Amino acid sequence: MAESVRYEVDGWGVGELWLDGAMLLWHELPRPRGGDVGVHLHHSLAERIAAHFAGERDSFSDVELDLDGYTAFQRAVVETLQRVPWGEVVTYGELAALAGHPNAQRAAGSVCAHNRFPLVVPCHRVVAAGGIGRYGTSGVEYKRRLLELEGVFL
């Protein structure tokens, strides 16, 4: 049975995790929210994510992800992205090539755009060839803040 865990990060807001046992189904990045949101930081993954926002390095490589329905290409991109170290960036073209699919930068970008596991699958570390690139509904400034937290200034 899936459970929802909300967590709060100073200066960032409230985020949410959806889990099925130890498997991460979905992760919502923290955003400012009003009212009582029922924050529960008792979950170990929520604590690790909050620590990440405080500048603590964590690869999250041990987190089990729900990749049911992902194609072999999507899995390759996710696995490759998980190996991009803290404080480093790759372009969409580099990500595709590292995943074994050179010239599939648009498709790699599509995997990032539909990423359900931000931070755990650190798509904020993927940049456009000519600059920072997009970051979905969170926006470029959110991406910039995440990168600056890791010492990357674009």
Sequence ranges of the domains in the chain: 2-53, 69-149
Among 142, 93, 136, 99, residue whose Cα is nearest residue 114: 136
Distance of CA 126 to the CA centre of its chain: 11
Task: Reply yes or no on whether the pLDDT at 130 is more than 80.
Answer: yes
* pTM attached to this predicted model: 0.93
Q: How confident is the model at residue 1 (pLDDT cuts 50, 70, 90)?
A: confident
Known catalytic membership, residue 112: no
What proportion of the chain, given as a percentage, has pLDDT over 70?
95
Query: 69-149 — its CATH code?
Result: 1.10.10.10
Sequence-distant contacts of 51-59: CB under 8 A, at least 24 apart = 52/119, 53/9, 53/11, 53/12, 53/149, 54/9, 54/10, 55/149, 57/86, 59/85, 59/86
Would you state the pLDDT for residue 92? 97
Q: Which of 5, 45, 123, 126 is catalytic?
A: 123
